[in-house]
Amino acid sequence: MRFRTKPDWFLWAAVGFVLLIYFGVGLLMYLPKGDVSAFYGLAIVWVFLALFLLWILPKTTHYTFLEDHLLCQSMGFKKRIYYNTFLKVEPANGLYAGWKMSTAWKCVVLHYNKYDELLISPQDEAAFIALFEEKKAQFAKTN
C-alpha cells in the first residue's frame, strides 16, 4: 500500500520566510545604488525554490509498504526499513533533529533498529499507523 505525503501550512511558511529574506537582501542591494536588477535575480531564484517546495517535493515524497520492507522516497532519496526492525511510531513533538522525509509540521516519528528514527508525514496517519502495527506484529511473530 502506498501513502502520499501531506503538505500543510509549513511549506507555505518556509516559502514566505525565504521571500522576506530575499526582499530584505534586495532592499540592501537596491538602496545604495538605486538599481532594481538585484530583485530580478532574487525573484527568479525564489520562484524556482517555491516551485520545488510547493509542487515537486510533495509530488515525489511517498511511503510504500512492500513485501518485507517499508520504502520511503523523497526526490531521488530512498530509505528501506525492514519490518522486523520496526519498534514504534509516535507523533512528533516539537523540533526534530534527524532524517526527515516530511512535508508537514504535524507528522510522526518512525522508530526502527535500536536508535534509528525517521520523520514522515503520511496523508492518512491512522491507516498508516494501523498498517505499521500490523506489519510489526506479523514480522515479530515470524522472526
Domains held by the chain: number: 1
What residues contact residue 112 under an 8 Å CB cut-off, 6+ apart? 81, 82, 85, 86, 87, 118
Reported as a single tens digit per residue, the pLDDT across 108-138 is 999 998 888 999 999 999 999 999 999 998 8
Question: Taking Cα atoms as reference points, which of 94, 70, 73, 74 lies closest to residue 82?
Answer: 70
Residue 141: pLDDT band by 50, 70, 90 thresholds?
Answer: low
On whether the pTM is more than 0.95, the answer is no
**Domain of 22, in residue numbers:** 1-143
What is d(CA 132, CA 44) in angstroms, rounded to the nearest whole number?
A: 42
Is there a contact between 104 and 5 (Cβ–Cβ < 8 Å)?
yes
CA torsion angle for 88, 89, 90, 96 (degrees, to 10)? 100
**pLDDT tens readout for residues 68-123:** 999 999 988 999 999 999 999 998 876 776 778 888 888 899 999 888 899 999 99
pLDDT above 90 for 35: no
